[in-house]
Amino acid sequence: MTPFSLKIVTPDGVRYDGQAEELVVRTTTGDVGILAGHINYVAPLGMGEAAVLVDGQKRYGACIGGMVSVVNGAVTLLPTTFEWADEIDPDRVEVSREKAEEILQNNASGTTDILLAKARLKRALVRKSVYSRKNR
């Protein structure tokens, strides 16, 4: 497949900068696959898995928030946080998930706490599912 240039940059640094053959990300309206020669495009990102095809090899990452854009053939992914599957710490994810569930099950939690906990739970679940793809 024809490669295109892909950049994944987060506030913590550059996570990927190079050629890729395919990018699949979850936008707020659903999963989107991008191949070379895509039309100029912008979409806000949701929370979900990102899959990048590099040299016929699929790499998975947990991609949360931000935006994806294609400008003149160059694809830029600007998430708030991004971790490759092998960078995820499963213990931390589990702790985060338990804490979020605790808050959700507690009737005394305020509305903002519940919203934050829901987002946290979602992030933990995304990371968990990405981590499970690590060894495939």
Partner 1 sequence: MAGVSTKEIKNRIRSMQATRQITKAMEMVAASKLRRAQSQVLSARPYFEALYGTIHDIVDANSDFASPYLQKRDGNKVLYVVIAGDRGLAGGYNSNVFKLVMAELAGKEATVLPVGKKAVEFFKSRNVNTLAVHYGDAANVSLGDCFTVAKLLSKAFLKGGYDEIYVAYTSFVSVLTQTPAVLRLLPLIRQETGKEGERVSDILYEPDSVRVFEEIIPEYLGGMLYGALCESRAAEQAARRTAMDSATSNADEMIDKLSLEFNRARQAAITQEITEIIAGS
Query: Is residue 76 close enough to count as binding partner 1 by CB under 8 A?
Result: yes
19/35 Cα distance (integer angstroms): 11
Least distance to partner 1, CB of residue 39, Å: 5
Binding letters toward partner 1, positions 47-66, x by CB under 8 A: ------------------xx
Query: Is residue 42 close enough to count as binding partner 1 by CB under 8 A?
Result: yes
* 55 dihedral zone (left: phi>0; alpha: psi -120 to 50; beta): left
Scanning the structure block, which residue is given the tokens 């490759």? 84
Beta strands in 55-135 (DSSP E): 57-64, 67-71, 74-78, 81-84
Query: Is residue 69 close enough to count as binding partner 1 by CB under 8 A?
Result: yes
Rule CB under 8 A: choose which of 1, 5, 71, 118 binds partner 1.
71
Rule CB under 8 A: choose which of 22, 27, 36, 114 binds partner 1.
27
Least distance to partner 1, CB of residue 136, Å: 29
55/80 Cα distance (integer angstroms): 26
90/72 Cα distance (integer angstroms): 38
Residues that bind partner 1 (CB under 8 A): 7, 9-14, 27-29, 32, 39-44, 65-67, 69, 71-72, 76, 78, 80
